[in-house]
């Protein structure tokens, strides 16, 4: 058995820092000789131990590139997943991260993939790619948003080949449109140094910063809104916060435009693909019914002008995650102002994530259902 203690420490360090990863997102890997150890699906980096990694046979993983897959999306992902499961080392029973194939493409020993809000200000910015090219174009690759799983790995593979033929070396940085960051290095120290350099370079280009300090609340409006939500979603866990950014973004339908759709798959999975915004507590009921009619799902985040934001879910942990990912969306929206303004995911990509079997699995593991 390989010594995974350095990988565990590295994973926990990034997993426990909300600037890099939220709600159990992100994944890490280590490779040596013929084996790749990658985060198992449904485990959380902050608390992971050696048993949280899935052992993969690298030769079998690489052999996936010689196979051909069906054109139909569902059939393709099912076939790729079956191959990925079959590439596990004998005796391995855990399900590897859906991003395993992507990890295997980087020759470096350590790979850390995260979803930092500051970096996503660039990956979700209309002028994000240009900003990336000027900051990191010589040492990294940019990949467009494509369906997660096999198609994403294929896109990364092509981008790596293009970079190698142009620069004669392997990149150590990858920015992924509407998704996140990947850093690769031969040691945890290399990953740390590179990550710190990326974060400070990105922040040096960010103008306005998110204003998340608490704001005073109108107690009567809060009580009215909370009572309405308790009636509309009986038995649900409900969380509330009021901060400067929420009040500013929620002030009008037009100021709310940056939050009018989803930035990343994480936002969709944990906070829903659409936030509900209303002008006052009295409007919640009608807007709630409209939302359900439109989306066939309950709202998970409800922003009320001049008051604050509620999150609503079947249990406390899910309500807290929805709030965390809402705040993350606010941060991304603000950082993206410095990179050409926010660019949301395309509607068909949002629909793909909403229907995606793997995300449903991850969501169910994370909520313990
Ligand atoms: Zn990811």
Q: Which tens digits make up the pLDDT trace of 271-324?
A: 999 999 999 999 999 999 999 999 888 999 999 999 999 999 999 999 999 999
What pLDDT sits at residue 334? Answer: 97
Higher pLDDT, 146 or 225: 225
Residue with tokens 């509607």: 347
Of the candidate ranges 34-43, 69-78, 101-110, 250-259, the one whose mean pLDDT is the lowest: 69-78
Between the CA of 26 and the centroid of ligand 1 the distance, in Å, is 5
Between the CA of 97 and the centroid of ligand 1 the distance, in Å, is 10
What pLDDT sits at residue 203? Answer: 97
Between the CA of 27 and the centroid of ligand 1 the distance, in Å, is 7
Q: List strands edge to edge, sheet with 301-304.
A: 237-241, 308-313, 301-304, 276-278
What pLDDT sits at residue 331? Answer: 98
Q: Which tens digits make up the pLDDT trace of 3-29?
A: 899 999 999 999 999 999 987 789 999
Between the CA of 181 and the centroid of ligand 1 the distance, in Å, is 8
Find the helix or strand (DSSP H, E) in which 237 lies. Answer: strand 237-241
> Does the pLDDT of residue 333 top 80, yes or no?
yes
Between the CA of 227 and the centroid of ligand 1 the distance, in Å, is 37
Q: Alpha-carbon dihedral of residues 190, 48, 314, 99, nearest 10 degrees?
A: 50
What pLDDT sits at residue 263? Answer: 97
Between the CA of 270 and the centroid of ligand 1 the distance, in Å, is 13
What pLDDT sits at residue 199? Answer: 97
Between the CA of 278 and the centroid of ligand 1 the distance, in Å, is 31
Average pLDDT of the segment spanning 164-183: 97
Between the CA of 96 and the centroid of ligand 1 the distance, in Å, is 13
Q: How far apart are CA 308 and CA 221, in angstroms?
A: 10
Average pLDDT of the segment spanning 63-84: 90
Q: Percent helix, strand and coil across the chain, each rounded to 5?
A: 50, 15, 35
Q: Which tens digits make up the pLDDT trace of 121-137?
A: 999 999 999 999 999 99
Between the CA of 283 and the centroid of ligand 1 the distance, in Å, is 36
What pLDDT sits at residue 369? Answer: 40
Between the CA of 218 and the centroid of ligand 1 the distance, in Å, is 38
Q: Alpha-carbon dihedral of residues 161, 164, 169, 171, nearest 10 degrees?
A: -60
Between the CA of 184 and the centroid of ligand 1 the distance, in Å, is 14
Between the CA of 354 and the centroid of ligand 1 the distance, in Å, is 15
> Does the pLDDT of residue 368 top 50, yes or no?
no
Between the CA of 48 and the centroid of ligand 1 the distance, in Å, is 17
> Does the pLDDT of residue 365 top 60, yes or no?
no
Average pLDDT of the segment spanning 325-331: 97
What pLDDT sits at residue 355? Answer: 79
Residues 6+ apart with CB under 8 A from 121: 128, 202, 206, 331, 332, 334, 335, 336, 337, 338, 339
Between the CA of 304 and the centroid of ligand 1 the distance, in Å, is 30
Q: What is the mean pLDDT of the chain?
A: 93
Q: Which tens digits make up the pLDDT trace of 213-266?
A: 999 999 999 999 999 999 999 999 999 999 999 999 999 999 999 999 999 998
CA 94 to chain CA centroid, nearest Å:
22
Name which of 12, 11, 15, 43 is nearest 30 in CA terms: 11
DSSP per residue, 193-210: HHHHHHHHHHHHH--S--
> Does the pLDDT of residue 360 top 70, yes or no?
no
Q: How far apart are CA 299 and CA 161, in angstroms?
A: 42
Between the CA of 231 and the centroid of ligand 1 the distance, in Å, is 36
The number of C-alpha atoms within 13 Å of 159 and in the hemisphere containing its C-beta is 24
Q: How far apart are CA 86 and CA 354, in angstroms?
A: 26
Between the CA of 359 and the centroid of ligand 1 the distance, in Å, is 11
Between the CA of 222 and the centroid of ligand 1 the distance, in Å, is 36
> Does the pLDDT of residue 156 top 50, yes or no?
yes
What pLDDT sits at residue 74? Answer: 82
What pLDDT sits at residue 23? Answer: 78
Between the CA of 230 and the centroid of ligand 1 the distance, in Å, is 34
Between the CA of 113 and the centroid of ligand 1 the distance, in Å, is 6
> Does the pLDDT of residue 357 top 60, yes or no?
no
Structural domains for the chain: 5-205 (3.40.225.10), 219-366 (3.40.225.10)
């Amino acid at each position: 058995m390989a010594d995974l203690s350095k990988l565990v420490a590295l994973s926990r360090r990034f997993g426990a820092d909300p600037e890099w990863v939220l709600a159990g997102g992100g994944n890490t890997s280590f490779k040596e000789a013929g084996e790749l150890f990658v985060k198992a699906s449904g485990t959380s980096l902050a608390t992971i131990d050696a048993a949280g990694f899935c052992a993969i046979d690298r030769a079998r993983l690489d052999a996936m590139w010689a196979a051909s897959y069906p054109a139909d999306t569902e059939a393709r992902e099912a076939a790729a997943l079956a191959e990925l499961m079959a590439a596990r080392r004998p005796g391995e029973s855990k399900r590897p991260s859906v991003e395993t194939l992507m990890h295997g493409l980087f020759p470096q020993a350590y790979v850390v993939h995260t979803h930092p809000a500051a970096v996503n200000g660039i990956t979700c910015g209309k002028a994000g790619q240009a900003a990336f090219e000027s900051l990191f174009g010589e040492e990294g690759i940019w990949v467009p948003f494509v369906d997660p799983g096999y198609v994403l790995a294929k896109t990364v593979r092509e981008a790596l080949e293009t970079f190698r033929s142009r620069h004669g070396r392997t990149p150590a940085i990858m920015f992924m449109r509407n998704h996140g960051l990947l850093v690769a290095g031969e040691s945890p120290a290399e990953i740390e140094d590179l990550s710190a350099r990326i974060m400070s370079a990105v922040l040096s280009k960010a103008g306005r910063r998110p204003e998340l300090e608490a704001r005073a609340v109108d107690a009567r409006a809060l009580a009215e809104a909370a009572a309405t939500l308790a009636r509309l979603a009986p038995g649900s866990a409900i969380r509330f916060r009021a901060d400067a950014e929420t009040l500013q973004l929620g002030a009008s339908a037009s100021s709310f435009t940056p939050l009018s759709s989803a930035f990343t798959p994480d936002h969709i999975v944990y906070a829903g693909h659409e936030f509900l915004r209303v002008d006052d507590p009295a409007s919640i009921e009608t807007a709630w019914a409209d939302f359900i009619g439109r989306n066939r799902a309950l709202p998970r985040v409800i922003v009320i002008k001049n008051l604050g934001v509620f999150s609503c879910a079947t249990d406390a942990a899910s309500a807290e995650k929805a709030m965390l990912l809402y705040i993350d969306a606010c941060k991304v929206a603000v950082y993206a102002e410095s990179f050409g303004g926010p660019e949301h995911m395309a509607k068909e990509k949002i629909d793909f994530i909403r229907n995606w079997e793997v995300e449903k699995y991850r969501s169910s593991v994370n909520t313990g259902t």
